Structure 1
Amino acid sequence: MPRSERSPLLLAGLLAAAGVAHFAAPRQFDATIPRGLPGSPRTWTHASGVAELALAAAVALPRTRRTAALATAAFFVGVFPANVKMAVDWRHRPAPLKAAAFGRLPLQVPLVLWARSVARTGEGRS
């Protein structure tokens, strides 16, 4: 399978794994929900897990891939405040944990670019 055909499936796999993790270990995600959002953190954790699972399914299907990949890029931008909150909250933790939290911040850029790249290879592109 050529790399261009594997990339959407890898992105879908990443999204699916993250979506499942939101239900399997929700407490770690609850802690990253910015306090200013209405409702309970668990509601946001579950909603983002559902969104990731839906995006995974849509990215995996060629017919919906382009739109889903663009939505995935927007999703990655949208969850950035949670990663910032985690980095701020973990700034006094031991060095490995602090490094992991701060390391997630620049990781959003390649994730957004990856999703946009998958969108360019999806069906229905203009």
Structure 2
Amino acid sequence: MTRDIKLMAGAFVGMGVLHFVKPGPFERIVPKVLPRKKELVYASGVVEIAAGALMLNDRTRRLGGLGAVALLLAVFPANVQMAADVVRSRRAPRWYKAGTIARLPLQLPMIRIALKAARS
């Protein structure tokens, strides 16, 4: 297993745990049109932990990588919602606004790493 897959798997597990420890920030970025925000945050946390853990094992890496890709695609609207909310905010500093926008295309290399895990 390559270092980038290990890092991504660890990040997924860590961020997934945060969905349960500190759900508030995740709830705030769920697109406004979606109901049951807390439940969606918990569900995505479960998937994130599972995908990360599955990517760490040779026999389950394919499933974990595919799960990570599905999750990254599913939560992209939340990342867009976060960027839109931050850009509209008068209180958010410029560096934070720039960071939330710059973060959006970073989903592509993450998807690439998850696909690499699925193929390994």
Residue of structure 2 in register with 1:107 after alignment:
106
Report the secondary structure of 2:2's partner residue: helix
Amino acid at match of 1:18: M
Local SS of the residue matching 2:29? coil
| RMSD (CA atoms) | 1.3
Correspondence 1:1-126 to 2 at 5 A? 4-39=1-36, 41-91=37-87, 92=89, 93-121=92-120
Partner SS state of residue 79, structure 1? helix
Contact 2:5-2:113 at 8 Å conserved across structures: no
Matched AA of 1:8: I
How far does the alpha carbon of each residue in 1:70-112 deviate from its partner, in whole angstroms, 9 at most, with x for none?
Answer: 1211211111000000000000322021112112101101100
Contact kept? 2:51, 2:63, Cα under 8 Å = no
SS state at 2:34 partner: coil
CA distance in 1, matches of 2:102, 2:25: 17
Deviation (angstroms), 1:8: 2.8
Which amino acid in structure 2 is aligned with residue 95 of structure 1? R
Aligned match of 1:124: none
TM-score of the aligned structures, taking structure 2 as reference length: 0.89
**Number of equivalences:** 117
Aligned counterparts of 1:118 and 1:54: Cα–Cα separation in 2? 14
Aligned equivalents of 1:61, 1:102: Cα separation in 2: 33
**Structure 1: any 5+ residue segments left out of the alignment?**
122-126
Moved over 6 A (4+): none
Partners of 2:48 and 2:99 in 1: CA distance: 21
Identity across the alignment (%):
40
* Bigger helix fraction: 2
